Amino acid sequence: METTKINTILWTLVIFIFNAKVVFSNENHDSEKHPLTSTVSCPQESDAEGRRYLTAGMMPSEVMFNELRHNLPGLKNLNNKQIMGMMKLMGPNYYWTFDKKNPDQKTGALILAHGFGEEGDLEFHNSMTDISSKHITTLSLGMSMMTSKHIECALFELRQSGAEKIYIVPIITTPHNTLAQQWEYILGLRNDHAYAKVKSFKPDDVVFLKPINDHQIAKQIVLDYTKEISVNPKNEAVVIIGHGPVREIDNQHELEIMENLAVYIRENGKFSVVKPFTLQDDAPKEIRDKNVNQIKQFME
């Protein structure tokens, strides 16, 4: 595409989809039905905003570090201290409860997300006012790479608050996402862990909802944003860039979903061009470099 032919305003919509290679293990991981009492020591106090942080535990085992190096190529040359430094930069694993609004509430909502930083988490928390007025609600935030305790404690507290059925809402775009796969492993829905092998459990009072994928709502959100920043659609190109997975099969599935979004935006926004790409940011360097070059060539 030549810029001399089209006066292109390039709007890059960066959708960070944390994907990576998955280990497929033949061994069964330990799982359990939800207990009447918590099997872990959960935080007894919260901060001024209501957040409940996990207390510092034992240093992760060498096995866990090696699993992370195996599953995330970007970590393979890092030592344990450097990996722990990266874990710290990603933010803590914690949960955030809401006060129960109605004593008759029996349905729980556990919102899972990787976290958005302190200010982003607060904004996200404040956006849950409507759902927390209808259901017993808790947020569980963090990458869940080396622990599942924040999820286990969140489920325990939801039950303690009277939840008889708990709906888990994963705040990610597609199931081709290692964070989603790690959550599924933790909740006993798969035997393969996407990061490190952590404690898993198979609660019988939980319904794990599907990610938004290319649902009509997702299409409309992206379309609304492109229209908001657009000046002259017929002379503009829209580029949708995703973080992207490591495995090529997952990447193809990801691109198919993104292409569905692109078609909808192109047809309903009347843009000249709408093109999806993935970086595959956690893939080996040569794969990522190839994707970056494809994006550059498209822009030229």
- Domain coordinates in residue numbering, the chain: 10-18+213-299, 51-80+91-208
Q: Which residues of the chain have pLDDT under 70?
A: 1-39, 57-58
- The pLDDT value recorded for residue 285 is 87
pTM of the predicted structure, to 2 decimals: 0.81
- The pLDDT value recorded for residue 57 is 67
CB atoms within 10 A of CB 241: 18
**Of residues 173, 171, 254, 272, the one with CA closest to residue 219:** 173
Three-state DSSP string of the chain: CCCCCCCCCEEEEEECCCCCCCCCCCCCCCCCCCCCCCCCCCCCCCCCCCEEECCCCCCCCHHHHHHHHHHCHHHCCCCHHHHHHHHHHCCCCEEEECCCCCCCCCEEEEEEECCCHHHHHHHHHHCCHHHHHHCEEEEEECCCCCCCHHHHHHHHHHHHCCCCEEEEEECCCCCCCHHHHHHHHHCCCCCCCCCCCCCCCCCCCEEECCCCCCCHHHHHHHHHHHHHHCCCHHHCEEEEEECCCCCHHHHHHHHHHHHHHHHHHHHHHCCCEEEEEECCCCCCHHHHHHHHHHHHHHHC
Is residue 54 left, alpha or beta, with left meaning phi > 0 and alpha meaning psi from -120 to 50? Answer: beta
Q: What is d(CA 109, CA 95) in angstroms, rounded to the nearest whole number? A: 13
- The pLDDT value recorded for residue 65 is 97
The CA R_g of the chain, rounded to the nearest whole Å, is 21
Q: What is d(CA 240, CA 80) in angstroms, rounded to the nearest whole number? A: 35
Tokens of 56: 């510092």
- The pLDDT value recorded for residue 73 is 86
- The pLDDT value recorded for residue 147 is 95
* Beta bridge pairs of residue 240: 13, 276
Query: From 1.10.3470, 3.10.50, 3.40.50, 2.40.50, which CATH number describes the 51-80+91-208 domain?
Result: 3.40.50
- The pLDDT value recorded for residue 44 is 86
The answer to whether 254 and 244 have CB atoms below 8 angstroms apart is: yes
- The pLDDT value recorded for residue 247 is 83
Tell me whether strands 136-141 and 165-170 are parallel, antiparallel or unpaired.
unpaired
